Amino acid sequence: MTQHTLPLFDAALLRPALLDACKKLSPRAQLGNPVMFVVYLGSLLCSALWVQGLLGHGDAPTWLTGALALWLWFTVLFANFAEALAEGRSKAQAASLKGLKKAAWAKKLGAPHRYGAPFATVEAGELRKGDVFIAQAGDIVPCDGEVLEGIAAIDESAITGESAPVIRESGGDFSSVTGGTRVLSDWVVARVTADPGETFIDRMIAMVEGARRGKTPNEVALTILLLALTLVFLLVTVTLLPFSHYSAQAAGAGEPTSLAVLIALLVCLIPTTIGGLLSAIGVAGMSRLMAANVIATSGRAVEAAGDVDVLLLDKTGTITYGNRQASALWPAPGVSQATLAQAAWLASLADDTPEGKSIVQLTQPLLPPAANPLDAALRQGERPEAVSFAPFTAQSRMSGVNLPERAIRKGAADAVRQWLAANGGELPAALQQQVDQVASRGGTPLVVAEPQRALGVIELKDVVKPGIRERFAQLRAMGIRTVMLTGDNRLTAAAIAAEAGVDDFLAEATPEAKLAMIRDCQRQGLLVAMTGDGTNDAPALAQADVAVAMNSGTQAAREAANMVDLDSSPTKLIEVVEIGKQMLMTRGALTTFSLANDVAKYFAIIPAAFAATYPQLNALNVMGLSSPASALLSAVMFNALIIIALIPLALRGVRYRPLGAAVLLRRNLLLYGVGGMVLPFAGIKLIDLGLSALGWV
């Protein structure tokens, strides 16, 4: 997988971010962040006090008021810069996607909609949903579509970043083509699935533009908490002004605390650090997903990924390699190998899935000589009107063919057993034993039958991916339960589940069964994540809290999901969970740091603000700051500079490790809690020494 990463401080992003940071100084933009809006108002008031001091009416040294106002504006500007830089990274990703929307021409097919039919060359923008086009070697795919006919190698590197071409063909799970990609060889006939402005690239652009991202529930809750803390400190600070005046008059000595000093105190006490970085953390989380080639429709989905309790993973293509291959034929008693091969071949002629094609490939060398003209016509690739095919459905779990004198079905053993029973036949015990043996080996048995006679078993092999067991162990360490979904029977599912190391499995899974399982987990208060690519996965994807659809999957699956994996790698769900947890940990770590570093500011500002009225408070000057003015200015400068210092952490995120919740809590409290208290002491003291050395205070 290719990572679309940008340097944290790319020069191409810095200039626009600085410009956007200045634009965000408007009151309307500041209202979106209550904590920074208070700092914004404090900056305005402190600036007014500085002007008043210049006119000779100030209650504090003019230079101090001016310096405090300047650094308060820097605090607002730095917070704006953090948000603008995060948004700029997302907008840069969106801009690269917009580059894919080049003027293209389409070969629109007339009736009949098949290869060889006449076509008209039109602009891609004229295509509408339902139109049919042909794309040949060297052509740009003009619009999103579903392949109706043909097979082609397609270069999707402009979207996914992968240089290796992908195969797109009719039928199966790889029938979707995306506008803006290039056909490298052969051809496909496809039906348009999206109108102009609604294509996948259009939706990708809208998804990755961080400025459009709404706040997630956890962000809203944290914003309310920060606002509550801000109001508490605001009320405390407001009451200090009359109290200071009263104390100064009652003591008959000393000066009351100036308004500029109280503004500095308020700004340093409220959680400005996390308030300034909160939005940047959320936007950066979306950007990290995009770097992993995953598009999220909302920040809510990213956040939910970090809290997932249950992971539902499709077996084929996720836990196993998929594309199960027919490996052996096991005839029923009294049935010859050639008879079974012919029946399996006939039942698979219209099966466009990789499994169906592998059955045709396995059985062709075993076919007996053509017995009649109809048989000969079928072997030449013709489709006589007398022959009809029964397609596979999730409900029947069978497919087959209807000939003039016989019907043949192949499918799951229990489904074929029911079909036989409905037609007066039965599944022999010996054949059932063969089904169990194939399933116990981890293979997939397909029973082939006529209405009143079972003919035998086709064995399909499926291979578990290397390293998948270790990935599931990591998820288990995170406290996440893994469930394998498969349409196979229970014996096959149990063998694969044991080999892969999943916690549970759902065998013979229908769309209704998947949906019921997700709803049952949600009724228990669990958050559920699922990955899928087929139309039959769409109901479950729509119900899941985190739903990742494959880019190679059907349009229905992509529209039902709240995330799309451009690499079409079903195991990406594991990475999505890690990114979600990383975003939650980053927010928690910076919140802990922000609240903890206020402790040092208390020791810096409170003695400086009230020592003139209460000399006893000088005992709190544990840092030995050179003067009250230096203490005030050092604390305000540190408060602004720490936002800039933490921008890389907000954008890159806290490194996630699959440890238990208790271990992570202790680690973060030690690193960001204790560290958040210790670092400001050193930082404020260093700034104070620098100001003193320069003779500015």
Helix (H) or strand (E) holding 219: helix 217-251
Using DSSP's 3-state secondary structure scheme, residue 147 falls into strand
Burial 207-227 (b: 16+ CB within 10 A, else e): bbbbeebebbebbeebbeebb
Q: What are the CB-based long-range contacts (under 8 Å, 24+) for 467-474? A: 468/319, 468/500, 468/501, 468/571, 469/499, 469/500, 469/501, 471/571, 471/574, 472/500, 472/501, 472/502, 472/503, 473/501, 474/574, 474/658
- Which residues sit in the known binding site for ATP? 351, 355, 392-399, 410
Q: For residues 538 and 645, what is the distance between their CA atoms, to the nearest angstrom?
A: 44
- Which residues sit in the known binding site? 351, 355, 392-399, 410, 533, 537
Cβ count near 679 (within 10 Å): 18
| DSSP designation for 140 | B
Q: 152 φ, ψ to 5°?
A: -150, 150
Beta strand 481-485 pairing with 407-411: unpaired
Helix (H) or strand (E) holding 286: helix 272-291
Q: How far is CA 645 from the centre of its chain?
A: 27
Look at residues 640, 572, 675 and name the one whose alpha carbon lies nearest to residue 272: 640
Identity of the amino acid at 373: P
What DSSP line would sit under 68-107, residue for residue? HHHHHHHHHHHHHHHHHHHHHHHHHHHHHHHTT----EEE
Do 435 and 492 form a contact (C-beta atoms < 8 A)?
no
Which residues have C-beta within 8 Å of that of residue 333, sequence separation ≥ 6? 428, 430, 431
Do 121 and 133 form a contact (C-beta atoms < 8 A)?
no
Do 394 and 532 form a contact (C-beta atoms < 8 A)?
no
Token pair for 693? 């050395």
Using DSSP's 3-state secondary structure scheme, residue 11 falls into helix
Whether 598 sits among the annotated catalytic residues: the reply is no
Look at residues 326, 300, 282, 260 and name the one whose alpha carbon lies nearest to residue 52: 260
Dihedral class, residue 56 (left if φ above 0, else alpha if ψ from -120 to 50, else beta): left
Q: For residues 327 and 474, what is the distance between their CA atoms, to the nearest angstrom?
A: 33
E strands in 412-513: 444-450, 453-461, 481-485, 504-506
Q: For residues 581 and 305, what is the distance between their CA atoms, to the nearest angstrom?
A: 7
Q: 524 φ, ψ to 5°?
A: -85, 5
Residue 562's alpha-carbon distances to 302, 331, 532, 541, in angstroms, are 9, 46, 12, 8
Do 43 and 234 form a contact (C-beta atoms < 8 A)?
no
Q: How many residues does the chain have?
A: 697
Beta strand 528-532 pairing with 481-485: unpaired
Identity of the amino acid at 213: R
Using DSSP's 3-state secondary structure scheme, residue 679 falls into helix
Instruction: From the candidates 144, 314, 545, 598, give the one annotated as an active-site residue.
Output: 314
Q: Mind telling me the catalytic residues?
A: 314
